[in-house]
């Protein structure tokens, strides 16, 4: 499961295409939440910026894994949001199967 949450200080029309983040991960296992137009400050500046939060079971657990994911997400976000890489922050959260509920149980039992 890949819950992705994009928070940005960009207009909705620029952030709307970001739902296509599903193109970067298995679509049947992804959830994308896009929250555009938020009041945000990154590195002391209120200029347009974005933060992507990525959670997954067994896919974001090491620096080596996250370096590859980071490159793909940065390429996508800079193109879609029109932001420089310096105005984007990605945070990775490894999850355990028991931390995700689905179909009246947790992923451990699915």
Q: What is the pLDDT of residues 83-97, one digit of tens each?
A: 999 999 999 999 999
Q: Is the distance from CB of 88 to CB of 78 less than 8 angstroms?
A: yes
Please compute Rg for the chain using Cα positions.
14
Could you tell me the domains of the chain?
2-109 (3.30.429.10)
DSSP notation for 4-66: EEEEESS-HHHHGGGGGGGGGS-GGGEEEEEE-S----BTTB-SS-EEEEEEEESSS-SHHHH
pTM to 2 decimal places: 0.86
Backbone phi, psi, residue 60, to 5°: -125, 40
Q: pLDDT tens across 45-102, in order?
A: 999 999 999 998 888 889 999 999 999 999 999 998 999 999 999 999 999 999 999 9
């Amino acid at each position: 499961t890949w819950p992705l949450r994009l928070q940005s200080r960009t207009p909705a029309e620029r952030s709307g295409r970001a739902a296509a983040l599903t193109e970067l991960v298995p679509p049947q296992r992804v959830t994308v939440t896009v929250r555009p137009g938020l009041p945000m400050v990154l590195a002391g500046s209120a200029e347009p910026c974005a933060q992507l939060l990525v959670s997954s079971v067994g896919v974001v657990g090491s620096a080596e894994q996250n370096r590859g994911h980071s490159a793909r997400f940065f390429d996508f976000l800079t193109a879609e949001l029109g932001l420089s890489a310096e105005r984007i922050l990605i945070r990775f959260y490894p999850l355990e199967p028991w931390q995700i509920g689905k179909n009246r149980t947790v992923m451990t039992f699915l």
